[in-house]
Amino acid sequence: MRGAVSEPSSPTLPPDDEPRRSRSTAIAAVAALLLALPFLVLGLFMLDVKARIELRCEPGGPCVLTQAGYLTREEATRFDPADVQSVRVERTRSARRESVPIFRPEVETAQGRFPLFHQWATEESEATAVVDQVKQYLAAPQQGRLELSHDDRRDSLRVGASFTGVGVLLLLFSGWLALRARAHRLAEHTASR
């Protein structure tokens, strides 16, 4: 009968080479922070998609076309009613399998073509109603004012809020890990004395 098998002894590491909880927790905190950044950037980008379009015309002009997201707004163009070359409903077909016709009102000026909806509408009557309102104002711009707005920000709100929420949670988790790394570091420092 052979001798009893002895368990191999684990090598002892010098104190500087021992794995440290503070180091691994700090690495995890940095990793969570790096993971949070793309979610925050993409979330804020989606929240600021300029999907609300407003057209305001004063009596006699000028007309101001504004695009807004949830975070910022910007003036897309400013024009006089006399500069309008055409107002029409743009028609095309959906890229989806059903290939449904879709519609979007737009104003064409000397500065270019400007859609009055961010997303295409599936109902032609919705786009035609906007075109009729603009044409009615242009027929007698001195008689009144025009205020139109169309808000397509709902989809970007869902996606943007989801991404931002995940980013904030990861940021909080990273902060918690950083506090844990600091506590581990203090405990290691106290133990080494």
Instruction: Report yes or no on 89 lying in a domain.
Output: yes
125 and 67, same structural domain? yes
Both 32 and 98 in a single domain? no
Whether the pLDDT of residue 6 is over 60: the answer is no
Average pLDDT rounded to a whole number, residues 79-105: 86
Give the domain CATH number at 78: 2.30.29
In this prediction the pTM is: 0.70
Tell me: pLDDT of 24 over 50: yes
8 Å CB contact between 158 and 102? no
Q: Which range of residues forms the domain containing residue 42?
A: 21-47+157-191
Residue 185: pLDDT band (50, 70, 90) is confident
Q: What pLDDT, on the 0 to 100 scale, is given for residue 132?
A: 93
- For residue 5, pLDDT over 80 is answered with no
Does residue 189 surpass a pLDDT of 90? no
pLDDT at 188 over 90: no
Q: Are residues 139 and 176 in the same domain?
A: no
Angle at which helices 154-191 and 21-47 pack, to 10 degrees? 160
Confidence of residue 12 (pLDDT cuts 50, 70, 90): low
In a domain, 12, yes or no: no
CA 190/CA 193 separation, integer angstroms: 6
The C-alpha atoms of residue 21 and residue 149 are separated, in whole angstroms, by 56
Rounded to whole angstroms, the Cα distance separating 96 from 85 reads 32
- The model's pLDDT over 31-87, given as tens digits with 9 standing for 90+, comes to 999 999 999 999 999 999 999 999 999 998 799 999 999 999 999 999 999 889 999
Q: Do 110 and 72 share a domain, yes or no?
A: yes
| String of DSSP letters for the chain | -PPPPPPPPPPPPPGGGS--HHHHHHHHHHHHHHHHHHHHHHHHHHHT---EEEEEE-TT--EEEEEE-SS-EEEEEEE-GGGEEEEEEEEEE-SSTT--EEEEEEEEETTEEEES-SS-BS-HHHHHHHHHHHHHHHHSTTT--EEEEEE--HHHHHHHHHHHHHHHHHHHHHHHHHHHHHHHHHHHHHHT-
Quote the number of domains for the chain: 2
| Residue 100 and residue 66 in one domain | yes
- Are 162 and 88 in a shared domain? no
Same domain? For 181 and 94 the reply is no
Average pLDDT over residues 182-187: 86
